[in-house]
Every structure is written in structure tokens, then in C-alpha cells.
């Protein structure tokens, strides 16, 4: 009898080896990742995709069971992050709290953010508020992981405790640490967004597409995070499969608008439907004007050229550099009239892109285009001409 109990405690109801336990762990963590990225992030936070009610509830239940996260709180924190990105009001910016804090103590930042009494009222609107949410998922959010622990210990014995422990740190590390931390600290950028978001692809391919963080900040309302051929968005692949099964309905995709006309869904494809004018224009200016100038400088002389991260900072006017680095960059620019002129045009354009007065912004943009086209800088003139072609104020 004692040996039987001891054997059950060691092996559980499903005796399996280390490989079986690892496969089970991988499946469980991926289901959790997909529940977070598909349901909490893309569906609830940004309304870019709707799921069949039964599937949506399955996602919500899985988040309760495996993470203890409350839908309304998670959504509110994420929306606040977008509204106040890289400022003191950002709930989890490595620029404010430090990358070490995000990687090692991201859960503390989440708990601190959820303690704000005005958070959910301001940013959590439109999330589920049914009976089970009010009586179970929200007030007893910690019951889920407790139930999960009991089930996994029953299935795998003491090994189930290790599986459960890894699951409990999976989202805090990969979500709060890698995506929210490294995703605003290190990586490559496709778009010049006003924050420091980056893409980590393909390093973090196992976090459901969330590693394509810069793409997401450029297209917040897009259900698809990948934009380049080598980028792979696992979450989008799952959405496509669910759409074929009529379990998901995509509302918006980067570069595509899905809308209803006379009851029939039609598709329209402008150059980048979900991309804001500011991001599109400033990204184009750096790619088509600044980068060619930097390449020319590198070819002409390597002497005195600042490090790559300083040159790359020309994309945002050195906004995120410290005083010493900004001083080095400005001193180098001052010795190169060509770059100094481009930086001046870039700064003027950035101000115009932030202009909230539509009429004043249109007039200012028209004047900027005329000045750029009157310059003797080829790439700047070409960029201005392209901008004039899509600007009614400049015609």
C-alpha cells in the first residue's frame, strides 16, 4: 500500500519520461502564449480580430487557469502602454525602469500598474463583464493556477510541480521581460515609431509573433504582426486557420482594410492602410534620404565617423541619446553641412507630423515641400516630390 502511494506520488496518474513531460510543457506554454496574443492582445486590446464566442471563452478560461491574469486589467495596462509609451506613465518601459527590472521583475510592474484605481475605468472598456467574470475570473483569479497545480501534480506526481513552476514564470519572463523589455531595448526596426519598440525576430519565434514589437507599434490595430518576408507570425498563422474554420473574423490587417459595404465584406489595399502618416513619412525620410547620405559619408571617409548606434539615432533626431552621446553626434554633424541640412529638414518635418491643427499642418507641409524641392540635394528633392504627389495642400 505504501509503495503504491509512493509510486503514485512520484509518477502520477500518467507515468511518463522526461521527453513526454517536456512535450506536455511545450504544448501547455504555447497554448498560453496563443491565448494571450490572440485573445488578450489582438482581440480584446486592439479589436483587430473577433473569435467565435465559445472559442473566446475558451481563451479567457485558459488565461484564468494558467496565468491568473484578469482580462480587463491586462487590456487596460496594455492600452495605457500604447497611450503613454516611453514616458513616466508607461506601466512597463525599460527606458523608465531599466532593462534589468523588466527582465527580472516584470511581474512587480504589472502588479503595481493594476493597483491604479482609475486604470480599468479609463482603459479597460469593452472587455467581458458577464456573470462568470464578475463572480469567478476577476475576484478569484488566483484559483486558476491553484487548480492547475493540483491537476498537474495528480497527472505527473512531483514532476508536475516542476512543470507548473515553469508555466508560472513563462509569461512573466517572455511577456513582461522579453517582449516588453527587450522589445523596447534591443533589436531591429522596420518603422520609425515615436517610441523605442524593436523586433526580435527570429530569436523569440516561440512567443506567438509578439517578438515583432516594432511592427505592432507601427500598426497597433493590425491582426497580423509580420510585414517582411523573413518575419514569421505564429499568431497570424493560427488566425488564418481559425478563419478557414469560421471561428475567427479578421477586422484589420497591416496594408489592408476589411470593411462592410451593403452587407458584403470587401477588401481595399492602400499602400499601408493602418500605418499613421507620421510613422510612414518619418520612416520614408530616414530610409530614402538619411540612409543614402550616411552611406555616402561612410564610403568617402571612415575617419571620425561615430559608432553605428549614434548614426542610427539620426532616425529620431537623437531623442534617446544621453547628453554626452548627443554632443558627440551633433559635433560630427556640424562638420558636415550636407548632413546638417538634412537634420534640419528632418526636425522641421517631425514637428509638422505632430501638428494637431490640420490647416496649419497642411500649410506648413506645403512650405516644407517647396523648400525641400528647391534644395540641391537629390534624395531630399525626390522625397519631397513623392510627398507632394499625395499631399493635397502641396498641389
H-assigned helices in the chain: 2-11, 18-34, 53-67, 71-83, 94-97, 99-114, 119-123, 131-132, 143-156, 158-171, 213-218, 234-244, 277-285, 291-300, 308-312, 323-334, 337-353, 358-373, 378-389
The residue written with cell numbers 465584406 in the block is 265
Residues 204-224 pLDDT 10s: 778 999 999 999 999 999 999
Q: What is the pLDDT of residue 391?
A: 57
pTM: 0.84
Residue 54 CA to residue 241 CA, distance in Å, equals: 16
pLDDT, the chain, mean: 87
Give the cell for residue 148.
492547475
Query: In percent, how much of the chain has pLDDT > 90?
Result: 58
Residue 1 CA to residue 19 CA, distance in Å, equals: 29
C-alpha to C-alpha distances, 377 to 151, 293, 305, 383, nearest whole angstrom: 68, 10, 21, 10
Residue 216 CA to residue 222 CA, distance in Å, equals: 7
**Top-confidence residue, 298 or 19:** 19
Residue 345 CA to residue 365 CA, distance in Å, equals: 11
Largest separation between any pair of C-alpha atoms in the chain? 93
The answer to whether 31 and 39 have CB atoms below 8 angstroms apart is no
> What is the number of other CB atoms lying within 10 angstroms of the CB of residue 133?
17
DSSP helix/strand/coil, 186: coil
Give the cell for residue 158.
512531483
Q: Reduce the secondary structure of 251-304 to three states and give it as a string.
A: CEECCEEEEEECCEEEEECCCCCCCCHHHHHHHHHHHHHHHHHHHHHHHHCCCC
Q: What is the pLDDT of residue 84?
A: 94
Give the cell for residue 287.
530610409
Q: What is the pLDDT of residue 61?
A: 98
> Strand order of the sheet with strand 256-261?
252-253, 256-261, 264-268
Range from 16-20, 147-151, 277-281, 331-335 that averages highest in pLDDT: 147-151
Residues 25-81 pLDDT 10s: 999 999 999 999 999 999 999 999 999 999 999 999 999 999 999 999 999 999 999
Residues 257-294 pLDDT 10s: 444 444 433 334 433 334 567 888 889 999 999 988 88
CB burial class (10 A; 0-12, 13-18, 19+) of residue 144? buried
Give the cell for residue 164.
507548473
DSSP β-bridge partners for residue 199 = 188, 212
Q: At what angle do helices 143-156 and 158-171 cross, to 10 degrees?
A: 140
The residue written with cell numbers 496574443 in the block is 37
DSSP codes of every residue in 49-94: EEE-HHHHHHHHHHHHHHH---HHHHHHHHHHHHHTTTSTT-TT-H
Residues 149-183 pLDDT 10s: 999 999 998 889 999 999 999 999 999 899 999 99
Amino acid at each position: 500500500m505504501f509503495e503504491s502511494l509512493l509510486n503514485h506520488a512520484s509518477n502520477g496518474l500518467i507515468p511518463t519520461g522526461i521527453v513526454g513531460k517536456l512535450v506536455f510543457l511545450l504544448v501547455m506554454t504555447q497554448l498560453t502564449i496563443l491565448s494571450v496574443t490572440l485573445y488578450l492582445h489582438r482581440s480584446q486590446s486592439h479589436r483587430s480580430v473577433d473569435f467565435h464566442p465559445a472559442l473566446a471563452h475558451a481563451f479567457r478560461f485558459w488565461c484564468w487557469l494558467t496565468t491568473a491574469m484578469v482580462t480587463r486589467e491586462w487590456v487596460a495596462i496594455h492600452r495605457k502602454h500604447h497611450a503613454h509609451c516611453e514616458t513616466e506613465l508607461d506601466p512597463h518601459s525599460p527606458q523608465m525602469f531599466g532593462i534589468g527590472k523588466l527582465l527580472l521583475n516584470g511581474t512587480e510592474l504589472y502588479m503595481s500598474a493594476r493597483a491604479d484605481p482609475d486604470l480599468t475605468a479609463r482603459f479597460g472598456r469593452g472587455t467581458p463583464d458577464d456573470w462568470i467574470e464578475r463572480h469567478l475570473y476577476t475576484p478569484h483569479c488566483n484559483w486558476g493556477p491553484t487548480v492547475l497545480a493540483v491537476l498537474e501534480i495528480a497527472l505527473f506526481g512531483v514532476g508536475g510541480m516542476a512543470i507548473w513552476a515553469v508555466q508560472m514564470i513563462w509569461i512573466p519572463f517572455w511577456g513582461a521581460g522579453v517582449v516588453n523589455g527587450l522589445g523596447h531595448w534591443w533589436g531591429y526596426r522596420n518603422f520609425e515609431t515615436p517610441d523605442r519598440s524593436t523586433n526580435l525576430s527570429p530569436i523569440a519565434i516561440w512567443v506567438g509573433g509578439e517578438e515583432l514589437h516594432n511592427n505592432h507599434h507601427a500598426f497597433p490595430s493590425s491582426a497580423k504582426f509580420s510585414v517582411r518576408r523573413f518575419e514569421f507570425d505564429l499568431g497570424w498563422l493560427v488566425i488564418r486557420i481559425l478563419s478557414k474554420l469560421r471561428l475567427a473574423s479578421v477586422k484589420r490587417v497591416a496594408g489592408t482594410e476589411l470593411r462592410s459595404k451593403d452587407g458584403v465584406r470587401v477588401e481595399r489595399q492602400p499602400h499601408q492602410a493602418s500605418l499613421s502618416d507620421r510613422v510612414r513619412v518619418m520612416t520614408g525620410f530616414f530610409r530614402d534620404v538619411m540612409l543614402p547620405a550616411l552611406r555616402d559619408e561612410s564610403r568617402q571617409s571612415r575617419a571620425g565617423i561615430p559608432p553605428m548606434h549614434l548614426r542610427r539615432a539620426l532616425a529620431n533626431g537623437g531623442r534617446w541619446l544621453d547628453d554626452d552621446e548627443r554632443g558627440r553626434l551633433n559635433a560630427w554633424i556640424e562638420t558636415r553641412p550636407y548632413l546638417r541640412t538634412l537634420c534640419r529638414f528632418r526636425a522641421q518635418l517631425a514637428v509638422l507630423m505632430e501638428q494637431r491643427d490640420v490647416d496649419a499642418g497642411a500649410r506648413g507641409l506645403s512650405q516644407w515641400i517647396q523648400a525641400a524641392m528647391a534644395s540641391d540635394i537629390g534624395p531630399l528633392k525626390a522625397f519631397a516630390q513623392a510627398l507632394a504627389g499625395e499631399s493635397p495642400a502641396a498641389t
